[in-house]
A and B are shown apart, each in its own frame.
Chain A
Amino acid sequence: MDRNDYPGPCPKYGPFSLAVVLLLTVLCCAHASPDERQFARSEIPIPLQLQIFLKIVTYDRSFDQDKPGPFRVGVFLKNTGEGGVESTFRQVSEVLSKKTILGRPLSPVKIVMRNGVFPKIGQLPDMLVLIGNWDEDGEKVAEYARKKKLVTFGSSIPLLESGIVVVLTLDGDRPVIHVNLNEARAVGADFHANFLKHCQVVR
C-alpha cells in the first residue's frame, strides 16, 4: 500500500505487504543456497543479512535519503570465526560496494571493539550492524547506539533483549524479523506500522 494515498476498494495486500513477503521469500531461498553456507551454518549468511538490514532501513521514516554523501554502514566485528575479522570485513565491503540504498552509495565502516572499549570514530555511521557473537557485549553496543541515535541490527535473540533494535533469526527454515519497539523509538527510528505487523515486535 502506498503511504500517502488510500486507494479505496482494493485487495487487502498492498505493495508494501507484498514487498515484505517477497523479502522473506528471498531470505528462504538464499538460506537454502549452498554457496552461502560457508559463512555460518546456524545463522543467515552475512551478505544476505546485510541485504535484509539495508532493506529494513528503508521502512524507517526517519531515514533521510536526501542527506549528502554515502550511507555509512558501521560494521561491528567480533569473533567472526574462520578467516578472521579482516577477511569478514572484506567480504562485507565487497557486498556493500555493489549496493545502494535509495540512490545513496554505501560506505562500510569497520568497528572493532578491543578490551571492551569502543574505538573513536571520526564520522558517525548511519546504522550499525553486529557481525559475530555479540551476546555478551550487546548491552554496551545498545547503550552506545542509544547515545548516538543509531539503529542497530543483530542476529540473535539475546541481542534483542540487550537492546539491539532489529534482530534477524531463523524459525526452522523461516526467517523472522524481531523489532524492539521501545529501543527503536529510543534511537529515533520510526518504522511503519504495516511493516511492524509482519514482524515479531517486542516492547
Chain B
Amino acid sequence: MKPLGWLYRSPLQTQLRVMLLAAIIPGVLILGVFAGIREHSIIRKNFQLKTEELVDLAAYNMAPGVEFEDLQALNEVVNGLTRRGEVAYVLVTDRTGRAMASFHPEQASINSWKTDFSTSPIESRDDGRTLHLRHRLSFNQRFLGVLYMGFTLDQINAQLFFNHLVVAAVVLLTMVIIAFSARRIGRMITAPIEALKRLAEKLSQQNYSSPPVSMEAAQEIEFLAHTFNEMVRAIQERQNELRVLNQTLEQKVTERTKLLEIETHKAQQSERLKSEFLSNMSHELRTPLTSILAWPDLILEHYERKQDVMTGAAQIKKTAQHLLRLINDLLDMEAIDTGRMRIEPVLTDITPLVSEVMQHMRGYAINRDVTIEMNLLNPLPPLVIDGDRLKQVLINLLSNAVKFSRKSGKVELFASADEREISIRVVDHGVGISEEDLKYIFDRFRQVDGSIRRRYGGSGVGLYLVKSLVTMMGGTVEVTSGLGEGSCFLATFPLPGMVAPADLEPASQPPEPPVPGNEKG
C-alpha cells in the first residue's frame, strides 16, 4: 500500500490543494521561525548596544566625580539613570572597591564578575532576567574605579513575546490565506476539467445534443476542450449523417420492396401467361391432331368412295401443315429467346417479294371472304435484307389482318420508299385493338383477350415474331388501332444505300400461307 494512497485516490481538486499547502506552508513556517529568531536577535542586540552606550556615557560623566570624590555629582548621575525604568541597579566604586554612589546595590552581585578586566572597558553578562554591565572608570588614562549597572529584561522579554505573537499571527493568517488561495486555485484549475467530465458523462449516456464547452483556462486545457468540442461536433455530424442514411436506407428498402413486389407481380403474371400459353398451345395442337385422327377412320369406312378418300387425305395434309407451321413458330420463338436465330441479309428486290407474298395470301383471304389489295405508291429500291424473314413478317401481318377482318372486309398493303427508308403498311378494317391492349400487342404469349382467342384462335406468338424479326433486320414496327376501327401495322426498313438492278438476285420462294387464325397477339 502506498504511503499516500488516499491522496492518489482523492479528487484532483483535493490533490492540488494538498500539494499547494504542502509546498508553501513549510516555507511560511520556516520564514516565520526565521523572522522570530531574527527579531529576537535584533531586539536583544539593539538593547545591548543601547545599554552599553548608556553605561559608556554614564561612566564618562561619573569619572570626574570619582576622581574628585564629588559624591554629589555622582549621585546626580545615578539619580538621572534611575529614572529609566529598565535600570535595575547602579553601583559606583572607587579603585579600592568602596561604594561611592549606588541604586539597589544588593542586586549588583559584583562577586560574580571575574576579578580581571578584559581589554574592552565594558563587559556584559546575561542571566535571562537581567543584563549585567561592568565599565571601568578612567580619568587621564588612570584607573579610578568601576561602574556596575543592571538592566531588567522584563520589558524586552515582554516586547519579544508580543513580537513573537505578532509573527505567529501573521504566519497563521498567511496559512489561512494560502489555504483559501489553494482552494481557489484548485477550483480554477479543476473547473474546466469538471466541465469536460460532465460533458463526457452526457456523451456516455448517448446525449449528443449538449452545447460545446466554453471556458477560459490554461492553454493545454483550452486545447483539450477545443479538441473535445471538435470530437463532439464530429460525433453529432456522424449521428446526423447516420440518421439521414437510415432514413435513406428505409426509403430505399421501401422502394426496393415496391420494385420487388412489382417484379414479383410481373413474374407471377409471366408465369400466368406461360401457363395460359401452354394451355392455349395444347389446345391449338390437340384440335388439328383430333381432326387428323378422325379422318383415317372415315377413309377406312368409306374407302370405296374415292371422292371421300381424296377429301380426307387433303384435310389430313392441310391440318398437318398447320401443325407444322405452329411448331415452326414455336421453334423460331425459342431460337429468338435463346439467341440462336440467324438473319442472313442479301440484296433483295422488295417489289416482287411483296407481290409474291400478296399472291400467296390471296387464296387464304378468299377463303375468309376478305379482299386483299396491294398498293405500290412509288418504286421500291432493292434492299439488303433477309428475304425469307421479310416474307415471314409480311405473311404474319397479312394473315392477322385477314383473320380479324369482318366478312366481305378488305385488307390493303401500301408499300412506299423515300430517301431514307422503305415503308410497308398493312391496314384492315376489322375488330381493332383497344388502347389498353395496344401496350402488350407485341409481347410474348400475349393475346388481346380470351374471347378473341376463343373466337379467332391463334397461339399468341405471331406478332412477337414480327417485332423480333423486324428489329433484328434493323427496322421498326408500329401499330395504330382503335376498338372496332380496324388496325394499321407499319413496318419500316432503313436504306443504307441504293443498289443497281443488275446486282439483284432472285428472291427466295415465298413461304407457305400462314395458318388461319394464327394470331393477333
A, B bound: yes
Residues 229-252 of B contacting A (Cβ, < 8 Å): none
Decide: A10 near B57, CB < 8 A? Known: A193-B65, A194-B64.
Answer: yes
Of the four ranges (under 10, 10 to 19, 20 to 34, 35 or more), the interface on chain A belongs to: 20 to 34
Contact residue among A5, A191, A194, A201 (Cβ-Cβ distance under 8 Å from B80): A5
Residues 250-290 of B contacting A (Cβ, < 8 Å): none
Interface string of A1-15 (1 = CB under 8 A from B): 101111111101010
Bound-state Cα–Cα, A6 to B81, Å: 6
B70, B72, B74, B79: which has the most chain A beta carbons within 10 Å?
Answer: B70
Neighbouring A residues of B65 by C-beta, 8 Å: 193
Bound-state Cα–Cα, A35 to B365, Å: 194
Neighbouring A residues of B79 by C-beta, 8 Å: 4-6
Bound-state Cα–Cα, A61 to B80, Å: 19
Asked if A192 is an interface residue, CB under 8 A from chain B, the answer is yes
Nearest-neighbor residue (CB-CB) of B76 within chain A: A3
Q: How many residues from B make CB contacts under 8 Å with A?
A: 24
Bound-state Cα–Cα, A194 to B58, Å: 13
Nearest-neighbor residue (CB-CB) of B65 within chain A: A193
Bound-state Cα–Cα, A10 to B61, Å: 11
Asked if B83 is an interface residue, CB under 8 A from chain A, the answer is yes
Asked if A197 is an interface residue, CB under 8 A from chain B, the answer is yes
Nearest-neighbor residue (CB-CB) of A181 within chain B: B68
Residues 156-203 of A contacting B (Cβ, < 8 Å): 181, 190-194, 196-197, 201
Asked if B332 is an interface residue, CB under 8 A from chain A, the answer is no
Asked if B84 is an interface residue, CB under 8 A from chain A, the answer is yes
Decide: A197 near B64, CB < 8 A? Known: A9-B54, A9-B57, A12-B57.
Answer: yes
Neighbouring B residues of A5 by C-beta, 8 Å: 76, 79-80, 83
Neighbouring B residues of A4 by C-beta, 8 Å: 76, 79
Nearest-neighbor residue (CB-CB) of B61 within chain A: A1
Contact residue among B58, B63, B70 (Cβ-Cβ distance under 8 Å from A6): B58
Residues 108-162 of B contacting A (Cβ, < 8 Å): 139
Q: Are A8 and B68 in contact (CB under 8 A)?
A: no
Q: Are A12 and B60 in contact (CB under 8 A)?
A: yes
Q: Are B68 and A193 in contact (CB under 8 A)?
A: yes
Contact residue among A6, A9, A10, A190 (Cβ-Cβ distance under 8 Å from B76): A6
Neighbouring A residues of B61 by C-beta, 8 Å: 1, 6, 12, 14, 194
Bound-state Cα–Cα, A13 to B61, Å: 9
Bound-state Cα–Cα, A143 to B39, Å: 67
Shortest CB-to-CB span from B60 to chain A, Å, is: 5
Asked if B222 is an interface residue, CB under 8 A from chain A, the answer is no
Contact residue among B50, B64, B139 (Cβ-Cβ distance under 8 Å from A9): B50
Q: Are A197 and B54 in contact (CB under 8 A)?
A: no
Decide: A193 near B83, CB < 8 A? Known: A4-B76, A9-B50, A12-B57.
Answer: no
Q: Are B68 and A201 in contact (CB under 8 A)?
A: yes
Bound-state Cα–Cα, A6 to B77, Å: 6
Neighbouring B residues of A193 by C-beta, 8 Å: 64-65, 67-68, 70, 73-74
Bound-state Cα–Cα, A134 to B364, Å: 209
Bound-state Cα–Cα, A158 to B472, Å: 179
Q: Are A197 and B84 in contact (CB under 8 A)?
A: no
Asked if B53 is an interface residue, CB under 8 A from chain A, the answer is yes
Neighbouring B residues of A3 by C-beta, 8 Å: 73, 76
Q: Are A194 and B73 in contact (CB under 8 A)?
A: yes
Neighbouring A residues of B72 by C-beta, 8 Å: 61, 190
B68, B73, B76, B139: which has the most chain A beta carbons within 10 Å?
Answer: B68
Neighbouring A residues of B60 by C-beta, 8 Å: 12
Nearest-neighbor residue (CB-CB) of B50 within chain A: A9
Nearest-neighbor residue (CB-CB) of B70 within chain A: A193
Neighbouring B residues of A9 by C-beta, 8 Å: 50, 53-54, 57
Bound-state Cα–Cα, A181 to B67, Å: 12
Decide: A197 near B76, CB < 8 A? Known: A9-B54, A12-B60.
Answer: no
A12, A191, A192, A193: which has the most chain B beta carbons within 10 Å?
Answer: A193
Interface string of B73-98 (1 = CB under 8 A from A): 11011011101100000000000000
Bound-state Cα–Cα, A7 to B79, Å: 10
B76, B81, B83, B84: which has the most chain A beta carbons within 10 Å?
Answer: B76
Residues 88-133 of A contacting B (Cβ, < 8 Å): none
Bound-state Cα–Cα, A159 to B68, Å: 22
Bound-state Cα–Cα, A8 to B61, Å: 11
Nearest-neighbor residue (CB-CB) of B78 within chain A: A6
Shortest CB-to-CB span from B216 to chain A, Å, is: 61
A6, A7, A192, A196: which has the most chain B beta carbons within 10 Å?
Answer: A6
Shortest CB-to-CB span from A112 to chain B, Å, is: 35
Shortest CB-to-CB span from B47 to chain A, Å, is: 12
Shortest CB-to-CB span from A5 to chain B, Å, is: 5
Shortest CB-to-CB span from B91 to chain A, Å, is: 16
Neighbouring A residues of B64 by C-beta, 8 Å: 193-194, 196-197
Which B residues contact A (CB, under 8 angstroms)?
Answer: 50, 53-54, 57-58, 60-61, 63-65, 67-68, 70, 72-74, 76-77, 79-81, 83-84, 139
Q: Which 10 A-B pairs have the closest CB atoms?
A: A6-B80, A193-B70, A193-B64, A197-B64, A193-B73, A193-B65, A193-B68, A196-B68, A6-B77, A5-B80
A-B contact pairs, 7 of them (CB 8 A): A6-B58, A6-B79, A9-B53, A10-B57, A61-B72, A197-B63, A197-B68
Given contacts A6-B80, A196-B64, 10 further A-B contacts (CB under 8 A): A5-B80, A6-B79, A8-B84, A9-B54, A10-B57, A192-B70, A193-B64, A196-B67, A196-B68, A196-B70
